[in-house]
Chain A
Amino acid sequence: MIQMHDISKRFADYEAIKAVDIEVNGGEIYGIIGASGAGKSTLLRLMNLLEVPDCGEVVVDGKNLMTMKPKQLREARKSMGMIFQHFNLVANLTIYDNVEVCLQLANYPKHQRRERVMECLRFVGLAHLEKQYPQSLSGGQKQRVAIARALANEPKVLLCDEPTSSLDPHTTAEILAVLEEINRTLGVTIVIVSHEMEVIQSICHRVSVMADGSVYKTIELEPKGIPDVDHTPEYFIEKLTGEVSGDA
């Protein structure tokens, strides 16, 4: 689905990505992990040309993005959803409008927009919040809205830039469950950048380990499933003291 060949990217005098080759297969969940500054996010942003590589080829769904005219590139981006660590919702738009904007940009038929927006909001379990503004939502809910927005135009690919890095473990598990469901039921190819081991282990089919702007190794994984995080008082006490607390 996504082929990157001999991609390099330099910022001023710093080489962020060094001659990377990567291939993401259709229908898989592909992880990219590595330390801060390894180039994970930059590599992801090169996949929809938010960053333009200095050389190399980016082919998505059989089409070379590098040779496209600006208008063609915008069309190609409409079939690639993207979500971010800080959600990047429009704070002055309601939840409904945030999702609808994606359909407006894609020239989705007007009379079908409402149905599609609500379908996406139901998918992430937030249809009841359609009239709220992002400010009144929790982090996990904001990320769900961002997912609904990314999904609205039925993309083939979903790019996730540290999607759970500003969320607590419980909310992280919820978001991972949504992503896993999107992949399983809608067949969307997902690329996840994360520095969190659990995120990669729980849902990824393959992972590239990055270091210093290069792919160090790509590994096949058996997804472990999403951990059951239950934040009862007992859980915290056990974690903190190592003791299983009974009825103290």
Chain B
Amino acid sequence: MPEVLQRYEAEIWQAIGETFAMVGMSILAAVIVGLPVGTLLFLCRKENLLESRAVFSILNLLVNTIRSFPFLLLVVFLIPFTRFIIGTAIGTAAATVPLSIIAIAHYSRLVEQSLLDVPRGVIEAAKAMGASVVEVVFKFLFVEARSGLVLGLTTSIISFISYSTIMGVVGGGGIGDFAIRYGYQQFMTDLMIYMIIIMVILVQCIQFIGTTVARVIDKR
């Protein structure tokens, strides 16, 4: 192992841990909140099961607004909110707040798009069989859209990794922050390149897993 990596081994492991913590929380938020929000966006569309112009417009505006923020600005803008939720605006835990919010907005849009790919006829058949809205969602929509949902989550996770690199501004740490502080600001270009390599490997692995899972569960 290169000498520079050995020298900073402990810090690097800590940075990797921070990245995993931030991205992990983002994934959790995406699945627990983003999936229902995206499903609601889909269901509230015109001529859909829960057609509601009001709900759709509000959710749509909210998702668009969050996604149109340059992420760095969103982090700064949310500082008072983060302080309210976590008690502090600094550190890895605080960093998960803006990350979770962008994660929800990001994934919910991809969920909505995946569900739009489900043939209308399948929903018709479900309704004709007497399925309730909840049953249509769980027994038909999610089943038929499952590989799209997995691919969407994969795309989202990779974006979350990218977003997490910015979190150094609020002391969130992580690999990206480490690469900038040690690699860039202390002129250890080789260290920066090693960090980039770690990120590339991480993204490759996630994409490979996502693509494989999506292919295996796709029987269409």
Q: Does B70 contact A (CB under 8 A)?
A: no
Shortest CB distance B7–A (Å): 51
CB-CB contacts of A67-104 with B at 8 A, as 1s and 0s? 00001001111101110101111111100000001101
Q: Which residues of A contact B139 (CB under 8 A)?
A: 101, 104-105
- Inter-chain contact A82/B130, CB cutoff 8 Å: no
| Contact among A81, A105, A133 for B131, CB-based, below 8 A | A105
**Measured between alpha carbons, how far is A80 from B143 in the docked complex, in Å?**
24
- List residues of chain B with CB within 8 A of the CB of A82: 125, 128-129
The answer to whether residues A92 and B219 also contact, given A86-B121, A101-B139, A104-B139 and a CB cut-off of 8 A, is yes
Flag whether B144 is at the interface (Cβ < 8 A): yes
Residue B122 at the A interface, CB < 8 A? yes
A90-B122, A90-B143, A101-B139 in contact; A135/B128 too (CB < 8 A)?
no
| Residues of the A chain whose Cβ atoms lie less than 8 Å from the Cβ of B218 | 92
Nearest-neighbour CB distance to chain A for B117, whole angstroms, equals 11
B83 part of interface (Cβ distance < 8 Å):
no
| Interface magnitude class on chain A | 20 to 34
| B215 lies within 8 A of chain A by Cβ | no
**Are A105 and B130 neighbours in the complex by a CB distance under 8 Å?**
yes
Contact of A77 with B128 in the complex, beta carbons under 8 Å: yes
Q: Is the CB of B146 within 8 A of A92?
A: yes
Residues of A within 8 A of B132 (CB): 71, 74
| Chain A nearest Cβ from B142, distance in angstroms | 10
Could you count the A-B residue pairs with CB atoms below 8 Å apart for me: how many are there? 68
Considering the complex, give the chain A residue whose CB is closest to the CB of B136: A105
What separation, in Å, do the CA atoms of A33 and B61 have in the docked complex? Answer: 46
Are the CB atoms of B130 and A88 closer together than 8 Å?
no
- Report whether B135 and A80 are in contact in the complex, using a CB–CB cutoff of 8 Å: no
Chain A residues with CB under 8 Å of B131's CB are 74, 105
Closest Cβ neighbor of A86 among chain B residues: B121
Interchain CA distance A90-B142 in the complex, whole Å: 11
Contact B121 A75 (CB under 8 A): no
Inside 8 A of A74's CB, which chain B residues have their CB? Answer: 130-132
A88 touches B125 (CB 8 A): yes
Say yes or no: is B169 at the interface (Cβ < 8 Å to chain A): no
How far is B169's CA from A228's CA once the two chains are assembled, in angstroms? 78
A48 CB-CB contact with B under 8 Å: yes
Within 8 A of A (CB), among B193-220: 217-220
Q: Is A88 within 8 A of B124, CB to CB?
A: yes
Contact call B119/A88, Cβ cutoff below 8 A: yes
Enumerate chain B residues within 8 angstroms of A78, measured Cβ to Cβ.
129-130
Q: 10 closest Cβ contacts across the A-B interface?
A: A77-B130, A88-B121, A88-B125, A82-B128, A78-B130, A91-B220, A74-B130, A133-B219, A92-B219, A92-B143
* Extra inter-chain contacts (6) besides given A84-B125, A88-B124, CB under 8 Å: A74-B131, A77-B130, A88-B122, A91-B219, A105-B129, A159-B128
| A-B CB contact pairs (8 Å), 13 listed | A71-B132, A74-B132, A77-B129, A86-B121, A88-B125, A93-B143, A101-B129, A101-B139, A105-B131, A105-B135, A105-B139, A135-B219, A135-B220
